[in-house]
Structure 1
Amino acid sequence: MDETDELLRLCVRALVAQMGDVPGVEMRLTRDCVLGLTGEPSADFNRLTLGADPDAEGFLISSVARAKERGLPLQAVMCPGVLEALTPVARRLGLTAVGTSPLMVLRAGTPVAPSRPVRITRALGPELVTIAGDLAAAAFDTSRDAIARCIDVCVTKTAGVETWIAWDGDRPASTVTVTPTGDTAGISLMATPPEHQRKGMGRALLTQVIDDYRRRGMARFHLGATDAGLPLYESLGFETVAHLSAWILPGPSAGQG
């Protein structure tokens, strides 16, 4: 198994951990593919990952059928190994290609230059979980109610999803989520609201979190980058191992008005 396929399997596990406690979530998965439907009217909360599964086409067809049956938009990513075969299928099913999502990895031994120290705390308990959710909603310009239903509920001590907050003095400024699996951890939901951006808060938080996990034995870190986050991750030593093809299935009301 090459590194891309291995990391995609870890992404599948991370998505299961992140969505597992969402009330009413519908999940279907194999080792290499996962569908998670929260029922929210935003594609950001209905996710499909297609790795190098022998029946990735069947998984794609059944997943899109289920999303359409429920009247939900869907966000999908495909690994390079299945892209050629699945592209015509995806288009026939009504998905639209919207670019790529770099799959990045920070390997053991890659030095990460320390940033300015900030106070960080793990989001546990109602007050801190609410603060982390507020930061995510502001950073992503997303409904706070949707964040509460789909993210806040999964931030618990035993969920396998660990969320951290960085503080600028006494003000919460940035948050990030880590999903450990063995000696490899997934990084996601890196969120810094506009009023705290360009102050180095995200960098400070991520470098301290990486350093802390490395001291506890974590060897690698992986993430799916956005255009906005790519320069930060590259500057920290993350390398792109694959460009995942990104697709959107619009909801039934898209384009109406």
Structure 2
Amino acid sequence: MNETDELVELCVRALAMQMSAAPGAELHTTRRCILALTDEISADHNRLILGADTDVEGFLVRSVTRARERDRPLVALMAPTVAEALAPLATQLGLTAVGASPLMVLRPNVAVQPTRPIKVVRALGPELVSVAGDLIAAAFDEPRDVIARCIEASITPTSGVETYVGWAEDRPVCTVSLTLTGDTAGVTLMATPPEHQGQGMGRALLTQVIDDYRRRGVERFHLGATEAGRQLYTSLGFELVADLPVWVLDRAGPTPQSLP
């Protein structure tokens, strides 16, 4: 298995940890694919990852069928090893290609230099979890109630999702979440509200968290970057492994059974 396919597998596990507690959560998984649906009508909270599974075409068809049955949109990521073969079927099923998500990795031998000092606190307990939710909602311009239902629900001591809040001058300024699988951690929900951006807060938080995880024995970190965040992660030593094609399924459209 190449590194890209391995990391996609880890992304499947991470998504299951992140979305299993959301209201109406419905997860269908194989080792390398996952469909995660919720009660929310936003595509960001209804996700599909398609890795190098032996029945990936069947998984795609079944996923679209179920999303149509629940009247849910989807955001789908495809591993490069299956993307070209899946593209005609995805188009036939009503999905639209919208770009790519950079899959990046920080390797064990890459030093991460600490930047400005920042207080880091793990979000445990209702008050700190709510603080993290406030930061995520502000950073991504998401409705606060949606964040409470879909994100905060997964921030528990036993979910596998560890969330940290960065504080500066006694104010919460940024947050990040990690999911741990063996000696590899996935970085997600790196969130800094607009009023705190451009000051190195997110970078300071992430470098401290990475340093702490390395002391705990974690060797490698991976993430799916946005184009806006790609420069930050590159400057920290993350390198591009692959661009994962991104497809979107709108709510309105034919079911697979009605396609010619």
TM-score range, shorter chain: over 0.9
| Aligned twin of 1:8 | 8
Contact 2:5 2:51 in 1 (8 A): yes
Contact 2:23 2:39 in 1 (8 A): no
In the alignment, structure 1 residue 27 sits paired with structure 2 residue 24: no
The C-alpha deviation readout for 1:30-59, integer Å capped at 9, x for no partner, is 000001001211000000000000111110
User: Which residue identity lines up with residue 213 of structure 1 in the other structure?
Assistant: Y
CA distance in 1, matches of 2:46, 2:242: 22
How do 1:95-244 and structure 2 match up within 5 A?
95-244=95-244
The C-alpha deviation readout for 1:183-229, integer Å capped at 9, x for no partner, is 00000000000000001000000000000000111000000000111
How do 1:83-98 and structure 2 match up within 5 A?
83-98=83-98
| Aligned twin of 1:245 | 245
Q: Which runs of 5+ in 1 are unaligned?
A: none
| Aligned twin of 2:47 | 47
CA distance in 2, matches of 1:179, 1:84: 29
Give the TM-score, by structure 1 length: 0.97
Q: Which runs of 5+ in 2 are unaligned?
A: 254-260
User: Which residue identity lines up with residue 19 of structure 2 in the other structure?
Assistant: M
Secondary structure at 2:60 match in 1: helix
CA RMSD of aligned residues (A): 0.9
Contact 2:188 2:223 in 1 (8 A): yes
CA distance in 2, matches of 1:95, 1:39: 20
Q: Give aligned-pair identity as a percent.
A: 65
User: Which residue identity lines up with residue 50 of structure 2 in the other structure?
Assistant: L
CA distance in 2, matches of 1:175, 1:57: 37
User: Which residue identity lines up with residue 123 of structure 2 in the other structure?
Assistant: A
The C-alpha deviation readout for 1:98-152, integer Å capped at 9, x for no partner, is 1000111001010111111100100000000001001001100111111111110
In the alignment, structure 1 residue 18 sits paired with structure 2 residue 13: no
CA distance in 2, matches of 1:198, 1:181: 31
